[in-house]
């Protein structure tokens, strides 16, 4: 999946010479945390975040509407003075996997998405990534998750997929995870059906072990007494 598909295209931006209080007002009004800073050609020059504003403005100003308080010397403060210039960006043709790995490494809340010329195309926030990840997992479609323990050898997955396909059941997704037992894998097919009792029996008959749902997450939840 490409960034282009998951990013937010309608981006609220400011110019570098705008007032910081104006940027502050935009963040408040649109309930956002990141404001890309672009020049008149829509070339990205920086980014300003709610954290930048929190450190730049005194407590009495941050989170207030400018009209309601005396803004004092902060009225003339410009975006350029407090923005992060040249933030880490991502391209529309980067993948969601790229974005997930990158966001974990550099710990930002959002990436401005820019084309080769440096023009702003969109913004990809943690929220957009979560949405994409939920889509990949398929968990917003109705279905049932199974947990199957399989030996780590060639052809196991084929057997599982064949058994499920023979039952005319569609897949939402399949996750494969390491299991604590050596040479074993846990396979989690998310099946788009409510009707799994027959396929469960079939998989058991094929010699697969169905995992107790309470063991799926591989860490025990404290017992409820």
Q: Which residues bind other proteins (CB under 8 A)?
A: 139-145, 167-170, 192-198, 200, 212-214, 216, 221, 224
Widest pairwise Cα distance in the chain: 77
Tokens of residue 204, six digits = 């058991």
Least spacing, CB of residue 211 vs other proteins, in Å: 11
CA distance 17 to 14: 8
CA distance 176 to 61: 50
Least spacing, CB of residue 213 vs other proteins, in Å: 4
Complex with other proteins: residue 65 or 170, whichever CB lies closer: 170
Complex with other proteins: residue 88 or 217, whichever CB lies closer: 217
Residue 167: other Cβ atoms inside 10 A: 14
Least spacing, CB of residue 217 vs other proteins, in Å: 9
Partners of 174 in beta bridges = 189
Least spacing, CB of residue 141 vs other proteins, in Å: 7
CA distance 179 to 200: 20
Complex with other proteins: residue 102 or 192, whichever CB lies closer: 192
Complex with other proteins: residue 31 or 153, whichever CB lies closer: 31
Least spacing, CB of residue 178 vs other proteins, in Å: 20
Complex with other proteins: residue 43 or 206, whichever CB lies closer: 206
Whether the Cβ atoms of residue 65 and residue 71 lie closer than 8 Å to each other: no
Backbone phi and psi for residue 43, each to the nearest 5 degrees, phi listed first: -85, 130
């Amino acid at each position: 999946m490409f960034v282009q598909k998951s990013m937010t295209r309608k981006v609220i931006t400011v110019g570098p010479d705008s007032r910081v209080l104006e940027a502050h007002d935009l963040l408040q009004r649109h309930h956002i945390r990141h404001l890309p800073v672009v020049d008149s050609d829509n070339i990205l020059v920086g980014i300003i975040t709610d954290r930048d504003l929190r450190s730049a403005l005194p407590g009495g100003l941050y989170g207030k509407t400018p009209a309601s308080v005396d803004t004092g010397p902060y009225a003339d403060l410009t975006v350029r003075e407090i923005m992060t210039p040249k933030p880490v960006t991502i391209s529309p043709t980067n993948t969601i996997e790229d974005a997930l790995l990158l966001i974990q490494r550099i710990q930002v809340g959002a990436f401005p998405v820019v084309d080769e010329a440096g023009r702003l195309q969109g913004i990809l926030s943690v929220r957009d990534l979560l949405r994409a990840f939920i889509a990949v997992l398929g968990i917003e479609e109705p279905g049932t998750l199974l947990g199957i323990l399989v030996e780590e050898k060639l052809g196991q997955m084929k057997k599982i997929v064949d058994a499920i396909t023979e039952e005319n059941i569609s897949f939402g997704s399949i996750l494969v995870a390491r299991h604590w037992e050596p040479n074993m894998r846990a396979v989690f097919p998310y099946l788009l059906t409510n009707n799994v009792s027959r396929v469960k029996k079939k998989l058991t008959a094929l010699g697969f072990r169905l995992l107790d749902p309470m063991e799926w997450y591989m860490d025990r939840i404290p017992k409820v007494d």
